[in-house]
Amino acid sequence: MAAVGLGDFVWYSGTHEILLQGYNNGKTYVRDPYRDLLNGWYSISDLFSQQSWNSADRELGTPFIKVFKS
């Protein structure tokens, strides 16, 4: 999961959460829960440059977290 700010998924002030799935050649598949048209493969470096700097999104230390089933 990732919290992102201005960029491909946020076009105004605020933040947005997206789901990241898989990895291939420096890209990960993004699932946007609000806009299906934005689902697709994105460069990890591009996503990292759009990370949220909102304090609420960084309570765990980073706006990118791994969720897995144990």
- Return the half-sphere exposure (C-beta side, CA atoms, 13 A cut-off) of residue 19: 10
* Number of domains the chain contains: 1
* 68 within some domain: no
Measure the CA–CA gap between 57 and 27, rounded to whole angstroms. 22
Question: Angle at the Cα of 12 (from 9 to 51), degrees rounded to 5?
Answer: 50
Residue 14 is assigned to a structural domain of this protein: yes
* Residue 68 pLDDT: 82
pLDDT beneath 50: ranges in the chain:
none
Q: Is residue 66 part of a domain?
A: no
Residue 62: what pLDDT?
93
Containing domain of residue 32, as a range? 2-57
The whole-number pLDDT of residue 16 equals 96
